[in-house]
Amino acid sequence: MFSPCKASWCRLAVWLVAGGILLSVLLVVVGLAIFGSHPCTGVLEHCDEFKAVCASYNGDHQFFYSQCDMLRENCLTGSDWQRDHYNHCNVHV
C-alpha cells in the first residue's frame, strides 16, 4: 500500500511536483488561448452568406456565390480578393 510522506523533504517534493504539473497545464492553456486561434476566426462572423460578389485580385476577376466564400478563400489561400461589386462578373476579354 501507498503510505503518505512523513518527512518534511518528502512533502516538499510532492508539493513541488504537483505545483510544476499545475503550472505546466496553466502555461499550455494560456499558450493555446493566445497563439492557438486561427487568424480568420472573426472574419466570417460578419459576412453576408447570401450576397453574390464579383471580386478582383492581381488583375483577375472571379465570381463568388457569397461574400463569405470570398473571405474564406482569402483566409485559406492567403490571397487578397476584394469585392468589385455585388452580382456576377461582367468582364470583357
Domain boundaries, the chain: 7-37, 43-86
* Lowest model confidence (mean pLDDT) among 8-17, 27-36, 66-75, 76-85: 27-36
Confirm if 91 and 61 have CB atoms less than 8 A apart: yes
Q: What is the pLDDT of residues 27-66, one digit of tens each?
A: 777 766 666 566 677 777 778 888 889 999 998 889 999 9
Average pLDDT along the chain: 80
Task: List the end-to-end C-alpha distance of the chain, in Å, as a whole number.
Answer: 84
Confirm if 57 and 83 have CB atoms less than 8 A apart: no
Residue type, 79: S
Ordered DSSP codes for 45-62: GG--TT--EEEEETTEEE
> pTM value?
0.52
**CA dist 14 to 2, 5, 6, 24, 50, Å?**
14, 9, 11, 15, 59
